[in-house]
Chain A
């Protein structure tokens, strides 16, 4: 037994010794607090951030909040105690995390807001596509689709939201309805798919197409909801193209549905660019250097940094994906991460 334990400790010591050089090369650990791992955008963000941060010398650890605000608050408190180089936060609740963000910054830990903008307190950096702006892009796509179908911007839209407790979906709704309010001949029926659960979206679509056979367009707030929506349409005897459909976030399933003709437009969130931007500015954030406003090339996309009341804010525009550009590898839904290595902003 003694020999066995000695051997075991020997192997452990050897393994630790081999690990040390790897740590020595790292600039330190950055924590990513992801809201959930139950959707493809979020799981994609974990791998993209990890990849880009590694390219600029940081190790990343991820904590999943399972869409629970209180869990994410506890995680923030735990991570602050670990004194990482920085915290990247994709907040479950946009405002509830405010005290935790302030505590982290007071402890000297830079806080980066990823994907979900928090405007109620200062952050060290924000990298977003802009959820309200996704609504705007979707509205532009809807205008175009309705004009092609009906001759002008008129008709009936079924908007399938995510969970009504999630500010992310409410912001998209806000942006979308704000733009569409300019068209009085458009009727929008909005229904929430509780907990972003796909079969709930399927039920909503199944009921809506029976009760409102004149629906022109369905706008789902996430691509995985579109999969269930398509299944419901198929069950109702519909064929691709019978009802216009679009969704947002740019997940692989959405792009597949465009190829099959079910989905007309997918509003993509530029996941790779959003993640790359965080990594590009990480050295500046860790060294407490100023981030200057202006235009930056973020893996080929134009990212604009502005100084806002909540700190430096980088926005990378979302894009409308349709049949003409669906195979473009720059869209994260095609699962082809950029091959070029990113460099830290000087």
Chain B
């Protein structure tokens, strides 16, 4: 294989998930009635905003060779906190601030603090007490969802303050602002991961924690920050979820965790840590969202939807595995 072909193949493999996305979009456009239109593409981007933001936090932790199963429940708690405070119907107490735009930073700050706090609790037990990340975050997944049910009493909050809901309605270039927020998050965190020492250190920790420690890098501090960030970012996903649904229900976000894991893995991040980049994760999120949308548009019996969804995700992951094996042969 000459160097030029090899380089070309490397580029294809590095961006395989994007090629997969283009391929899938082309297939759906050709064969799924009504798929090929701007409104549907805008929907795909909009529907991927919550999952996308949640996947960023999860990816940060997975890159370090750890795991965070609590992100879904953390997002739900943040959503419920914002819902209870800033919704005016159901269990919402309808807090208002003057001027009204203040409610935007206030609600976002609450969501980030709620998420960050739970991330800090997770981080404390995993990093400082040296407990297993799977168990600790599984426990958080359970107790935080329990807290959502306890706080809400199983009831829902609706009618989010218009100044916050504005982000879900207002469009720029045909895409809602919530989706632009998700895109901005991906850009910012991709730059942090690629261009800052912190991002590089997280990857190094995931590659070899001992070697990173011996190189004089503050592993404990960086890991703790990664968990706090994962929590805070999940809180932000919850904030977006509240905006998207104009309120919060006790089961809001159920099932997002597994989609987030699928997106992260499809996006090329190794569950062993140390490998992967965030733009790939965004492509993974868009891929899942496209599949969902295609299923919504196909005239399939409702009962088979889950089967098809699972098989399509499996196909995407198999393609990713194929990519890894080609890369090994090239190395």
- Known contacts A43-B153, A43-B154, A206-B46: does B249 contact A235 (CB below 8 Å)? no
Name the contact of A204 in the complex, choosing from B34, B251, B296 (C-beta under 8 A).
Answer: B296
Residue of B nearest to A251 (CB): B156
CB <8 Å contact, A197 and B255: yes
Name the B residues within 8 Å of A173 (CB-CB): 302
Name the contact of B305 in the complex, choosing from A192, A207, A224 (C-beta under 8 A).
Answer: A192
Binding site of A, secondary structure by majority: helix, strand, loop or mixed? helix
Contact pattern, B 185-205, Cβ under 8 Å of A = 1, otherwise 0? 000000000000000000000
How near does chain B come to A336, taking the closest CB pair, in angstroms? 15
Residue of A nearest to B246 (CB): A231
Question: Bound complex: CA of A197 vs CA of B158, how far in Å?
Answer: 15
CB <8 Å contact, A256 and B158: yes
Q: How many A-B residue pairs have CB under 8 A?
A: 132
Name the contact of B90 in the complex, choosing from A196, A235, A256 (C-beta under 8 A).
Answer: A256
Total A residues in contact with B, Cβ cutoff 8 Å: 41
Name the contact of A252 in the complex, choosing from B90, B255, B303 (C-beta under 8 A).
Answer: B90
- Known contacts A37-B154, A43-B153, A164-B302: does B40 contact A210 (CB below 8 Å)? yes
Contact pattern, A 185-214, Cβ under 8 Å of B = 1, otherwise 0? 000011110111111101110111011100
CB <8 Å contact, B154 and A39: yes
Name the B residues within 8 Å of A212 (CB-CB): 34
Name the A residues within 8 Å of B154 (CB-CB): 37-40, 42-43
Q: Which of B115-157 contact A (CB under 8 A)?
A: 149, 153-156
Question: Bound complex: CA of A196 vs CA of B253, how far in Å?
Answer: 10
- Known contacts A43-B153, A192-B305, A256-B89: does B297 contact A234 (CB below 8 Å)? no
CB <8 Å contact, B156 and A40: yes
Name the B residues within 8 Å of A63 (CB-CB): none
Q: Quick check: is A228 within 8 A (CB to CB) of the other chain?
A: yes
- Known contacts A161-B302, A203-B47: does B249 contact A198 (CB below 8 Å)? yes
Name the A residues within 8 Å of B40 (CB-CB): 207, 210-211
Q: Which of B191-246 contact A (CB under 8 A)?
A: 241, 244-246
Name the contact of A203 in the complex, choosing from B156, B296, B301 (C-beta under 8 A).
Answer: B296
CB <8 Å contact, A43 and B155: yes
Q: Quick check: is B168 within 8 A (CB to CB) of the other chain?
A: yes
How near does chain A come to B249, taking the closest CB pair, in angstroms? 5
Q: Quick check: is B306 within 8 A (CB to CB) of the other chain?
A: yes
CB <8 Å contact, B43 and A210: yes
Question: Bound complex: CA of A185 vs CA of B249, how far in Å?
Answer: 36
Name the A residues within 8 Å of B159 (CB-CB): 256
